[in-house]
Structure 1
Amino acid sequence: RYIYYIPKKEKPFQVEITKSAYADQWHPIIEGNLDGVLYRSDNPKDSIIINGSYGTR
Protein backbone atom coordinates (compact mmCIF):
# COMPACT_ATOMS: atom_id res chain seq x y z
CA ARG A 1 0.00 0.00 0.00
CA TYR A 2 1.29 3.44 -0.91
CA ILE A 3 0.81 6.65 1.04
CA TYR A 4 0.59 9.76 -1.12
CA TYR A 5 1.53 13.27 -0.04
CA ILE A 6 0.40 16.16 -2.23
CA PRO A 7 0.61 19.97 -2.06
CA LYS A 8 -2.44 22.15 -1.50
CA LYS A 9 -3.58 24.34 -4.37
CA GLU A 10 -3.37 27.43 -2.11
CA LYS A 11 0.24 26.63 -1.12
CA PRO A 12 2.12 25.15 -4.08
CA PHE A 13 5.32 23.19 -3.54
CA GLN A 14 8.29 25.12 -4.94
CA VAL A 15 11.20 23.54 -6.85
CA GLU A 16 13.95 25.89 -8.05
CA ILE A 17 16.60 24.47 -10.39
CA THR A 18 19.86 26.22 -9.51
CA LYS A 19 22.28 24.25 -11.70
CA SER A 20 21.95 22.11 -14.79
CA ALA A 21 25.03 20.72 -16.52
CA TYR A 22 26.40 17.45 -17.86
CA ALA A 23 29.25 15.44 -16.38
CA ASP A 24 29.43 13.73 -19.76
CA GLN A 25 27.09 13.07 -22.67
CA TRP A 26 24.71 10.84 -20.66
CA HIS A 27 24.91 11.95 -17.02
CA PRO A 28 23.27 15.24 -16.04
CA ILE A 29 24.17 17.18 -12.92
CA ILE A 30 21.07 18.84 -11.49
CA GLU A 31 20.92 20.89 -8.30
CA GLY A 32 17.98 22.69 -6.83
CA ASN A 33 16.07 23.93 -3.82
CA LEU A 34 12.89 22.32 -2.49
CA ASP A 35 10.46 24.28 -0.34
CA GLY A 36 6.92 23.59 0.76
CA VAL A 37 4.48 21.41 2.63
CA LEU A 38 3.05 18.11 1.38
CA TYR A 39 -0.18 16.78 2.90
CA ARG A 40 -1.23 13.16 3.16
CA SER A 41 -3.99 12.63 0.61
CA ASP A 42 -6.21 10.55 2.93
CA ASN A 43 -5.47 12.61 6.09
CA PRO A 44 -4.59 16.29 5.41
CA LYS A 45 -3.72 16.82 9.11
CA ASP A 46 -0.64 14.66 8.48
CA SER A 47 1.98 16.68 6.63
CA ILE A 48 5.67 16.82 5.73
CA ILE A 49 7.57 20.12 5.70
CA ILE A 50 10.46 20.19 3.23
CA ASN A 51 12.99 23.01 3.05
CA GLY A 52 16.27 21.89 1.60
CA SER A 53 18.61 21.40 -1.30
CA TYR A 54 19.02 18.46 -3.64
CA GLY A 55 21.73 17.53 -6.07
CA THR A 56 22.77 14.70 -8.35
CA ARG A 57 26.33 13.91 -9.39
Structure 2
Amino acid sequence: MKEAVKKFATVNLDIVDLYLTELNRENGLPVLSWDKGFEKLDCEHYSPKEIFDVEN
Protein backbone atom coordinates (compact mmCIF):
# COMPACT_ATOMS: atom_id res chain seq x y z
CA MET A 1 0.00 0.00 0.00
CA LYS A 2 2.93 2.35 0.65
CA GLU A 3 3.98 2.22 -2.99
CA ALA A 4 0.44 3.00 -4.14
CA VAL A 5 0.31 6.07 -1.90
CA LYS A 6 3.73 7.24 -3.14
CA LYS A 7 2.62 6.93 -6.78
CA PHE A 8 -0.71 8.62 -6.07
CA ALA A 9 1.14 11.90 -5.52
CA THR A 10 2.80 11.74 -8.95
CA VAL A 11 0.35 9.92 -11.24
CA ASN A 12 -3.11 11.07 -12.28
CA LEU A 13 -4.89 7.79 -11.45
CA ASP A 14 -7.27 6.53 -8.78
CA ILE A 15 -5.70 5.17 -5.60
CA VAL A 16 -7.66 1.93 -6.13
CA ASP A 17 -5.99 1.41 -9.52
CA LEU A 18 -2.58 2.00 -7.98
CA TYR A 19 -3.36 -0.40 -5.14
CA LEU A 20 -4.48 -3.11 -7.60
CA THR A 21 -1.23 -2.60 -9.50
CA GLU A 22 0.77 -3.22 -6.34
CA LEU A 23 -1.27 -6.34 -5.55
CA ASN A 24 -0.57 -7.50 -9.10
CA ARG A 25 3.15 -7.19 -8.57
CA GLU A 26 3.15 -8.81 -5.13
CA ASN A 27 1.07 -11.81 -6.19
CA GLY A 28 2.14 -12.19 -9.80
CA LEU A 29 -1.44 -11.92 -11.05
CA PRO A 30 -2.85 -9.73 -13.83
CA VAL A 31 -5.46 -7.04 -13.25
CA LEU A 32 -8.84 -7.42 -14.98
CA SER A 33 -10.57 -4.07 -15.42
CA TRP A 34 -12.52 -1.92 -17.86
CA ASP A 35 -10.42 1.03 -16.71
CA LYS A 36 -7.92 2.24 -19.33
CA GLY A 37 -5.70 3.78 -16.63
CA PHE A 38 -3.71 0.59 -16.30
CA GLU A 39 -2.14 1.29 -19.68
CA LYS A 40 -0.19 4.07 -17.95
CA LEU A 41 1.23 1.67 -15.36
CA ASP A 42 3.85 -1.01 -15.64
CA CYS A 43 1.67 -4.01 -14.85
CA GLU A 44 0.02 -6.91 -16.60
CA HIS A 45 -3.60 -5.98 -17.25
CA TYR A 46 -6.50 -7.10 -19.41
CA SER A 47 -9.97 -5.82 -20.19
CA PRO A 48 -12.94 -8.18 -20.03
CA LYS A 49 -13.31 -7.64 -23.77
CA GLU A 50 -9.84 -9.12 -24.34
CA ILE A 51 -10.61 -12.15 -22.18
CA PHE A 52 -14.25 -12.91 -22.98
CA ASP A 53 -14.66 -11.57 -26.53
CA VAL A 54 -17.39 -9.15 -25.44
CA GLU A 55 -18.74 -6.84 -28.15
CA ASN A 56 -19.44 -3.15 -27.46
User: Normalising TM by the smaller chain, what interval?
Assistant: under 0.3
Q: TM-score, normalised by structure 1?
A: 0.22
User: Which structure's relative contact order is higher, taking Cα pairs within 8 Å and 6+ residues apart?
Assistant: 1
Higher helix share: 2
Q: Rg: which structure is higher?
A: 1
Higher strand share: 1
Q: TM-score, normalised by structure 2?
A: 0.22
